[in-house]
């Protein structure tokens, strides 16, 4: 499996602190109206501050790959932790925290996308394609270059590609999450990897040719 997180986008130094502050502020907001007794909730298996410290960078990278914008990625990361704080009692196993947070972020992204960029449904089945036998080698790809190529993919292809590599979900899990046939998942993933391979292969070839054509005195 290629390393989709090589040369990662780095969040700002204060992102973790901002997330923690927003969660703290949300806890202190007084509720409107009378406070009604609520059913007993399970004790959280982890603290939200621990989740922020451990996973904020990975969540930011995922959000950045989805949106392509640093500000939007930070907003989605913060929103993810606000929702996570509200639903913390639903997390039953600490070792599943990363996948749980990724799923929340993805849900936030899809809602953000529909609100910001209304578009007609693109979830119609695609023709079944042969899944690529070899995955593109992205370990040496510049992060900005990778983001540019991801941005050129259609929405449905990019989302499935990131769910597969970032969340490490299986075909069936992706199909269940998006409520589409597993054949559609395989077809879109195959198409996405093929487009990625062709685009990056061409870019790397161009870069190599430019480097070889430079005068020896300025090659570093």
On whether both 101 and 201 belong to a single domain, the answer is: no
State the residue range of the domain holding 93. 8-118
CATH number for position 89 = 1.10.1740.10
What is the pLDDT, as a whole number, of residue 32? 52
Residue 44 lies in a domain: yes
CA angle 90, 95, 98 (to 5 degrees): 75
Whether 105 and 127 map to the same domain: the answer is no
- CA-closest candidate to residue 188, choices 218, 220, 159: 159
Q: Does 2 reside within a domain?
A: no
Within-domain flag for 1: no
Q: What integer best gives the mean pLDDT of the chain?
A: 74
Pair 184, 92 in one domain: no
Residue ending a domain, choose from 95, 118, 141:
118
Please count the structural domains in the chain: 2
Q: Are residues 112 and 176 in the same domain?
A: no
- Residues 64-83 have pLDDT tens digits of 988 888 899 999 999 999 99
DSSP H helices in the chain: 15-28, 48-67, 70-86, 97-116, 143-152, 155-165, 171-178, 182-213
Residue 5 in this model has a pLDDT that exceeds 50: no
Q: Which of 118, 151, 177 is the last residue of a domain?
A: 118
- Tell me: do 12 and 114 sit in the same domain: yes
* Domain shared by 40 and 126, yes or no: no
- pTM of the predicted structure, to 2 decimals: 0.64
| Statement: residue 39 has pLDDT above 70 | no
Same domain, 59 and 93: yes
User: Do residue 112 and residue 42 come from a single domain?
Assistant: yes
Angle at 214 between CA 210 and CA 220, to 5 degrees: 100
């Amino acid at each position: 499996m290629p390393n989709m997180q090589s040369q990662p986008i780095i969040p700002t130094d204060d992102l973790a602190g901002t997330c923690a502050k927003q969660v703290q502020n949300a806890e202190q907001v007084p509720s409107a109206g009378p406070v009604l007794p609520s059913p007993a909730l399970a004790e959280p298996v982890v603290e939200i501050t621990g989740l922020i410290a451990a996973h904020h960078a990975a969540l930011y990278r995922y959000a950045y790959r989805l949106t392509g914008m640093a500000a939007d990625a930070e907003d989605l990361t913060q929103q993810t932790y606000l929702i996570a704080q509200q639903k913390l009692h639903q997390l039953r196993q600490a070792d599943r925290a990363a996948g749980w947070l990724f799923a929340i972020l993805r849900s936030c992204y899809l809602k953000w996308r529909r609100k910001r960029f209304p578009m007609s449904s693109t979830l119609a089945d695609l023709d079944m394609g042969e899944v690529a036998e070899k995955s593109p080698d992205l370990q040496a790809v510049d992060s900005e270059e990778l983001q540019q190529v991801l941005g050129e993919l259609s929405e449905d292809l990019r989302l499935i590609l990131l769910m597969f590599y970032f969340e490490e979900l299986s075909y069936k899990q992706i199909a269940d999450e998006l409520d589409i046939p597993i054949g559609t998942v395989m077809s879109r993933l195959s198409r996405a990897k093929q487009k990625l391979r062709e685009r990056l292969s061409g870019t790397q070839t161009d870069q190599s040719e430019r480097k070889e054509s430079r005068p020896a005195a300025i090659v570093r």
